Amino acid sequence: MTNRYWVASFVVFSCLVGILDASAGDADPRYRACVRTCEATGCVGQRCFPHCNFSADGAIDGPWYTQEPLYLQWKQWDCQSDCRYYCMVNREKERDALGDRPAKYHGKWPFKRVYGIQEPASVAFSALNLAMHFHGWLSFFILLYYKLPLKQNKKPYYEFSTLWHIYELLSLNSWFWSAVFHSRDVDLTEKLDYSSAVALLGYSLILAILRTLNVRDEAARVMVAAPLLAFVITHILYLNFYKLDYGWNMKVCVVMGVAQLLIWAIWAGMTRHPSRRKLWVVVFGGGLAMLLEIYDFPPYYGFLDAHSLWHATTVPLTYIWWSFIRDDAEFQTTNILKKGRP
């Protein structure tokens, strides 16, 4: 029962965060006026942007995104992004001089760009996560195929190996798009990042159920996976082709995230698995890290915000997580071989 309250309060909290997110910065009339002027003149104060000269390329009827070649779309994106960025920087200087706290603009804190990268800290940590996943998976692969005994058909005894390989692909995909999205936030990169994250979360929930219940039968696996897969695919289609609803997506992600943490936690409490302590660390670490997403704070020195720290905490957790997966492969293989040779 307490677990249910926990999930409910998480969801309520994330809704509140979602509402507070309706960025104060870009609602500010002075910021809006600055962006409007910039998009018309191509300048913020003394600083002018070459990307904003697209009107000189010749106007074509209809909306620009259906008519103009791709490079013009890029120019328009660049122009809008430059205008927003420098208007934000100016506005934040004014606010700072008045002693005001930083405000969010278009759902994001005012970050300092480095070589055109919008959120350098988040990009760096996403890349680290990617590397950590690859390292973890590689050592898992080596253990499975080179260190542990194999069946006669050269396949591993560990029955969850393929599921973890797929998990790895989805993880690499998700961290790759996370790095891209934090480098450059446009409609496309945002959708790719969100969709990849939802796919990974949904799949790892399925994996949590299959592994903790030790579902080995193919038909039973399909039975468990099918409804969840159907939901996740529908949700991704909804986000991409109907509405990118941040509040709803946050709820879906929190529920899927909390559900798998609870499943692993309950299992860790009941099982005699030799590596259950590693699982405890990942579950508690993961839960604490989630708080960073909820108690969102502005970036220190324009770089380290709550979201980037959240990405940072998952780096060591990923290391422990893959270490648990390796232990699990070893543990199960030993068990199967013991049973096979009484």
Interface positions with Zn ion (CB under 5 A): 178
Please state the closest distance from residue 214 (CB atom) to Zn ion, in A: 33
* CA R_g for the chain: 24
Which is nearer to Zn ion, 126 or 333 (by Cβ)?
A: 126
Collapsing DSSP to helix, strand or coil, 304 comes out as: strand
Which of 54, 177 has the CB closer to Zn ion? 177
Shortest reach from residue 196's CB to Zn ion, in Å: 11
Q: Which residue is nearest to Zn ion (CB)?
A: 178
Dist. CA 287–CA 142, nearest whole Å: 30
> Do residues 296 and 103 lie in contact, with contact meaning Cβ atoms separated by under 8 Å?
no
- Min dist CB 127 to Zn ion, Å, is 12
**Nearest to Zn ion of 178, 183 (CB atom):** 178
**Residue with smaller CB distance to Zn ion, 118 or 178:** 178
Distance CA 178, CA 188 (A): 12
- 128/175 Cα distance (integer angstroms): 9
Angle 127-171-109 from CA coordinates, rounded to 5°: 50
Residue 340 CB neighbour total at 10 angstroms: 8
Rounded to the nearest whole angstrom, what is the least distance from the CB of residue 24 to Zn ion in the complex? Answer: 21
End-to-end CA distance of the chain: 43
Smaller CB distance to Zn ion: residue 78 or 305?
305
Rounded to the nearest whole angstrom, what is the least distance from the CB of residue 253 to Zn ion in the complex? 12
What b-and-e string marks burial along 100-115, b requiring 16 or more CB atoms within 10 Å of the CB? eebbbbeebbbbeeee
- Residue type present at position 263: I
Least separation in angstroms between CB 197 and Zn ion: 8
Nearer to Zn ion, 287 or 323 (CB): 287
